[in-house]
């Protein structure tokens, strides 16, 4: 098996893929630490004139080192790639938790909101304004703590600049003054987004949600929403103070932290300050020559199905129970967007291509990876899915699906429909083998 390395990192499976970047699981061979490796193509960055944007995002992440912010470890480069080494977060998106479990309890909502406010406040003390706060950009670590991610739209204005002008963010979470195109305070705009997130945590749905953008913007501009009857009085009062359409009278983070509902069971996190934030490696990565390139080993990674390393399997499993890989039930990890097949990899890939095309999607195959693209079931937006085959054991393959572009709910609909047409290749343990396993477990307990 070919071992792929970038510097001191052994590279594993792809865990995410977007238009401009691919994210792979990796392991530091010196410390054994698991990391996420974000890989960007240098030519693509240059072609789309994204150098300044990428530099800014990396610089911001190095600046905001906080327990509730995803940590950037380092940046590496070769002649063709930029490698951003990030903290590996195992708990998934807060968005997925809301989708799968519905509204959260008051105590859990408050805890996440307290962590969000602490993380955002710290960013603001460093002059950083996120501008795209939403549950999809809030990750959960193995301890259930919140981690703010995706600083791609963040602002780091020059000292003395207090008014931002760029309209950006996700419409449902954006403050009304951002939509007015007249300039806005980045801190107060982030506070509004935090208020929307608190509402979503406690309600299970958005306070502002209209298909027509004009109607949506009008409702946001007037703060036209209502709180469900189950909201506690304290939470309701705080939300109304946050979702104030007038930024001049909107509550600040300092006042939020003095609110009685917020302060319940609040334990401030301990912050380690880093005096020197060195950005030399960031600049070097965009200017490096052949002598500065990161060590890269291995040939064509897609020449055959990728063998999952032992640490890949551990990360994929729920705890250390590898049976979760074979279970497509509702209790599986992230409603399991992966399954096992005993069919030869090429046969499985061919079957999946036929099914995807029969569902009206276009496919593009490169060795043992397939991109599936087309309109969602609602026919209103693009859905792009990456399908990849991995060898788990001799003659046993895992098929992993990852959403690249599109709505999460539409993606899960696609996955269910896709799998329902693949019954002939999806392997399930037989009733006899399941019964045998139960009997063995009982005998062990005796």
Q: Which residues are annotated as a binding site for ATP?
A: 47
**Listed residue (295, 293, 282, 280) closest to 79, CA to CA:** 293
DSSP β-bridge partners for residue 374 = 383
Angstrom distance (rounded) from CA 296 to CA 7: 7
Angstrom distance (rounded) from CA 174 to CA 168: 8
Residue/partner pairs of 233-237 with CB below 8 Å, 24 or more apart: 234/259, 234/260, 234/261, 235/106, 235/109, 235/110, 235/198, 235/202, 235/261, 237/261
Candidate list 132, 185, 190, 244, residue with the active-site label: 132
Whole-angstrom distance between the N-terminal and C-terminal Cα of the chain? 41
The residue ranges of DSSP E strands in 42-180, in sequence order, are 72-77, 81-87, 138-140, 146-148
Q: Which residues of 376-388 are buried (b: 16+ CB within 10 A; e: fewer)?
A: beeeeeebbbbbb
DSSP β-bridge partners for residue 297 = 5
**Listed residue (162, 208, 168) closest to 188, CA to CA:** 162
Using alpha carbons, list the distances in angstroms from residue 264 to 107, 114, 227, 257, 381. 9, 10, 21, 10, 42
For the record, the structure tokens of 291 come out as: 């002598």
For the record, the structure tokens of 430 come out as: 């037989």
Using alpha carbons, list the distances in angstroms from residue 148 to 72, 118, 134, 427. 12, 10, 9, 37
Residue/partner pairs of 316-319 with CB below 8 Å, 24 or more apart: 316/398
407 annotated active-site: no
Angstrom distance (rounded) from CA 155 to CA 163: 11
For the CA atoms of 150, 153, 159, 160, the dihedral, rounded to the nearest 10 degrees, stands at -130
Q: Are 411 and 372 in contact (CB under 8 A)?
A: no
Q: What residues are designated binding site?
A: 47
Q: Which residue has the tokens 């600040």?
A: 252
Angstrom distance (rounded) from CA 402 to CA 384: 9
Active site residues: 132
């Amino acid at each position: 098996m070919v071992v792929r390395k970038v510097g001191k990192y052994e590279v594993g499976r792809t865990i995410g893929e977007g238009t401009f970047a691919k994210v792979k699981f990796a392991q530091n061979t010196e410390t054994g630490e698991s990391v996420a490796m974000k890989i960007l193509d240098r030519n693509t960055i240059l072609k789309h004139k994204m150098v300044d944007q990428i530099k800014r995002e990396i610089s911001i992440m190095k600046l905001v080192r906080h327990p509730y912010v995803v940590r950037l470890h380092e940046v590496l480069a070769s002649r063709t790639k930029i490698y951003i080494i990030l903290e590996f977060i195992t708990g998934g998106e807060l968005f997925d938790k809301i989708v799968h479990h519905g509204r959260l309890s008051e105590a859990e909502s408050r805890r996440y909101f307290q962590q969000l406010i602490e993380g955002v406040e710290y960013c603001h003390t460093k002059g950083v304004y996120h501008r795209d706060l939403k549950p999809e950009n809030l990750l959960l670590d193995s301890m259930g703590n919140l981690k703010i991610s995706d600083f791609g739209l963040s602002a780091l204005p020059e000292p003395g600049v207090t008014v931002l002008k760029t309209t950006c963010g996700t419409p449902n979470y954006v403050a009304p003054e951002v939509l007015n195109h007249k300039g806005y305070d980045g801190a107060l705009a982030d506070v509004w987004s935090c208020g929307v997130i608190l509402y979503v945590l406690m309600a299970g749905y958005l306070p502002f949600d209209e298909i027509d953008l004009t109607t949506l913007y009008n409702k946001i501009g007037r703060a036209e929403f209502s709180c469900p009857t189950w909201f506690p009085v304290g939470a309701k009062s705080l939300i109304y103070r946050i979702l104030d359409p007038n930024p001049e009278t909107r509550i600040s983070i300092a006042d939020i932290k003095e609110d009685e509902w917020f302060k319940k069971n609040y334990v401030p996190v301990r912050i380690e300050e880093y005096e020197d934030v060195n950005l030399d490696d960031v600049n070097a990565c965009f200017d490096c020559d052949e002598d500065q390139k990161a060590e890269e080993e291995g040939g064509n990674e897609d020449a055959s199905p990728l063998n999952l390393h032992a640490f890949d399997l551990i990360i994929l499993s729920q705890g250390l129970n590898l049976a979760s890989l074979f279970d497509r039930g509702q209790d599986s990890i992230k409603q399991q967007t992966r399954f096992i097949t005993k069919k030869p990899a090429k046969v499985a890939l061919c079957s999946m291509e036929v099914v995807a095309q029969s569902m009206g999607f276009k496919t593009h195959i490169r060795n043992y990876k397939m991109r599936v693209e087309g309109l969602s079931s609602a026919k209103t937006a693009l859905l792009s899915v990456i399908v990849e085959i991995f060898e788990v054991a001799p003659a046993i393959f895992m098929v992993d699906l990852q959403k690249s572009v599109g709505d999460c709910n539409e993606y899960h609909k696609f996955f269910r429909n896709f799998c329902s047409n693949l019954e002939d290749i999806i392997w399930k343990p037989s009733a006899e083998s399941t019964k045998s396993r139960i009997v063995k477990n009982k005998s062990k307990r005796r």
